[in-house]
Structure 1
Amino acid sequence: MSNISKSKYINDKVQAALRGLAIAFIITTVVVPQYFGIPLPGFDMSAIRIMIVVLMVVICSDRDKLYGFIDTIKYNKIFISLLPYIFVLCYTAALRADVKAFLNPFVEFYTLFLTVYIVKETIGVEKSISVMLGCFYFLVFMGVAEYIRGDSIFKVLQTLDGVVGGAFVRGGQYRIMGPASHSIAYGILLNIGVAIAALDMKKNKIYLFQRPILFLLLFINIIFTGSRSALAVFLLTVPGVFLLSAKEEKKKTLLIGITGIILMIIFVLATSGTPVGKYFMLQFTSIIDEIFGTSLSLNYGATKIIKDSSDYRDALWDVFDVDWLNPLVGIGRKRRFATKINGRVLESLDNFYIAEYVRYAYPGMIAIILFFGYTIYLMFRKMIKNKDDIYTKIFLLCTVLYVVSLYFVDSIGTLKYCYLIIALFVCQANDVAVFDPRHKRSKYLRQAI
C-alpha cells in the first residue's frame, strides 16, 4: 500500500470513528446521568468527561483534525466573549487554592467547542437534532415509567457519590427526575425538548404540534417533575414557539391548542377526585399563587413547603449584603457556603446568578451574564438577518428560556444542555468552511459567526 493510500485509509478510519463518537457524545449529553462514571481521587470522571478524553485521543491522532479543533476555538467570537470569565476563574482558583474553581467550568466550556468541532466535521446540525429527538422520545417514555415506579430508573447507573439525592416527593406525589440530578434540572431539559420538537426540518418550518405524541409526553413529564419553574417556563415556551411560527402554522396551532385545552379541562374535572387530577391542579395553581399571591394550591394538597421555597428564594437576595463575602474574589467551589440572615439559615443557592456571585464575586457573575447576553445577541442578529432560519429561532428561544430558568435554580449539571444548543447554533451560523492559507494543514473556518 502506497503512503498516499495508507494515509487516506487512516484518515477515513479516524473520520468514521469521529462520526460514531459524535452521535454517542450527543446521546451521553442528553441521556446519560452525570452520576455515572469512574470515581477518581479529587476529580470524578463522569461519562461525558470520559467521552471528551476518547474524542481528544481520536482528534489528536490526525494532525489536520487537531489543527481544525484548535481553529474552532481560536477563530470563534463565542470564545472571545468567554475570556473575561476564564480570567476570573484563573485568579479565583489561584487566590483560593481551589483547582475545581477553574477546572469544572473550564471542562464545560471545552465541551462546548468540542461539540462544535465534531458536529461540523461529521454529522451536521440536522443529524444532531435527529439524535436529540430520539433521546427525548426515549426519556419521555422512561419518565412515565419512572412516575409509576416511584423512583428514578437511571439510578441503577449511579457510580459517583454526592451527585444525586434520594426520591423527591411533594404533596404526597413523587417528582420524576429522569437522568438529571434533580427534578428541576430534568424540567429544564424537557423544555428544551419542547422547542426542538417543533422543528420541521424537511419543510423548514416551526410548528408546535409537529410531533404531537412527543409534545404531549413532554408536557406530562414536565407536570410529573412537580417543578413550578419548569411548568412556568413551559408556559413561556409554548407561546414562544407559536410566535416564531409562520402564519399558516399559527392557525393550526390555535385550532389544535384550543381543542387540547378544552380536553385537558374535561380530563382534570373528570379526575378531580383522583390523585392524578389533584396533582395536575396543584402544579397550575401553585404558579397562579406565585404570581398573584393567592392560596388556591392549598385546595389541592399544597403544603407550607412550597411557600417556604418561595420565601427562601426571595431571601437569597440578602446574600449580596453578607459582609464576609469579598465582592471581588469569590469563595470558589471547594468551600461550602452557609450563612444566617435575619434569623434564616441560607445554604442552598437556588439561583445560578447569586451562586456565581458567591463562587466568583461580582466579576464572575457579570462575566457569565455578559457571555450569555452576547450569545443571545449573536443569535438574535442572525435571526433578523435571515428570517427563514428556523434553527437559529429555536436555538435563541432555548437559550433565552434557559437563562430565565437559572433565575430559579443553580446550574446543577444543566449547563451542558445549553452549551449543546449554543454549539449547534455556532455550527449553523458557519455553513461553509474557508481555507486559510496561513494554516495549510487545516481547512477550517477562520471566520466564526
Structure 2
Amino acid sequence: MAVAEIGSLQSSILFSVLVLFIATTAYLLFIRSLPGQPNAYQRRALQLFSWFFLTEFLAYLVYCLRFIDLHLFSVVCNNMLYLCGVYLFYCGVRLRYQLEISSRLLGWIAVHVLGLAAALFWFTAVHNDIFIRLPLALGSFCIPVLITFSLIRQQQRPGNLGDRVLLLCTVVALLLLPLLYPIFGYLLRPDQQGQLMVMTLVTLTLETLCIGGLAISYIYDLIDKLRSDANTDKLTQSSNRRYFFKVAPQFQQRVAAGENISLVLLDIDHFKQLNDSYGHQAGDAVLRHFAALLRQLLTKTDLIVRYGGEEFLLVLPGYTPAQTLPLLQQFQALLRQSPLHYEGEDLAVRASYGVAALHAGQDIDHCVHRADLALYQAKANGRDMVVLDSPGATS
C-alpha cells in the first residue's frame, strides 16, 4: 500500500473487504467443523462465532466513519468492538472446554470494555495523546489473550492436537502484540489520522490469528471424535472389535518383553430371553449397565471390548489367569448387588467367563479361541462361573 493511499476511502473499502473475507473464512471453517447434531456448548460457540463476525463487520463500518469527520466516535467505538471481539475468542475457548460463561464474568468484561472506552475518550477528546492511547488499547487487548492462554494451559489434554494449535496461536498473538504496531507503523509511515489504519491492521492480524486457531482446534476435535467413534462401540462406550485387533500387536510385544497379560471372554447369561421377554430396548439397557459396571471395577490400563452381541472381552495387563479370579469374583458380586432397574422391575444380570493367558509368539486369535473354549465350558457347567484355560481350574 502506498503512503499517499493511507487514509483514503478507496483503500479503506478494499481493506475492509479483505478483512471480511478472512473473518468469513474462519466462520465457515468453524461451521464445517461441527457435527451434524452439535451439543449445547457447540451451539453456543456457533452463536459466539456469529457475534464475532458481526462485531468485526461493525468495527470496520465504524472505522470508515472517520472519513466523515467522526474521528472521536470512530476511535472509541472501533476499539471497544475490537476488545469485544477478543473477549468473544476467550468465551469461545471456554465453551470448547465446556465451561460455563457466568453473569459475573460478563459483568467484568463489560467493566473492562466501558473502562477502555472512557480512557480512549479522555486521551482523544480532552488530551489528544496518541502515545498513551495506543499502548492503552494494545494492553487492553492483551488482557483477554493472557487469561485465554492461562485457561488453555489449565485445560490442555495430553496429545490433543487442537489444544496445541490453540495454544500456539495464543502464544504467537502475545508475542506479536508489542511488535506489530511498530512494524506496520514503519512500513506504512502514516500521519496521525492514519494511525487508526495501523491499529486496525494490528487488531485484525491478532484477532484473525486467534479466531482462526479456535476454528482449526474445533476441526481437530472433530477429527479426534471421528477416530474415537471408529474405535468405540456407540451403545456401550467400550472399545470395539476393530480397535482390539488394531492394538493387539502392542500386547504381544509386551508379553514378549516378559509381562503377564490375560484375556477374559464374558458372555451375558440368558441374554436372548431378556430380549424376548422385555424387548430390544431392555437388551440395550442391559448391555450399557453391564459395561458401566465393568468400567466401575477395572482401571484405565485394562481394556474393555464389546466383542460381539452380548460378548465382552477384557485385556488385563499384569494378570496371570489365576490372578484374575479374585477380580472376576468381585465383579460377580457387583452384578448380584446391582440389578438393572428397568420399567419398575429389577432385572438380574449374570455372566459366564472364560480366561486364557496370552503367550509370547502366540497369535492373538488363538488366545481368544482358548478363552472362548473356556467360556463354552463355563456355560456347559451351569453358567455364572469362571473357567480358566488351565485344566480343572473353575470358580
User: TM-score scaled to structure 2, two decimals?
Assistant: 0.24
The structure with the largest strand share of the pair is 2
- State the structure with bigger RCO (CA 8 A, min sep 6), 1 or 2: 1
Larger radius of gyration: 2
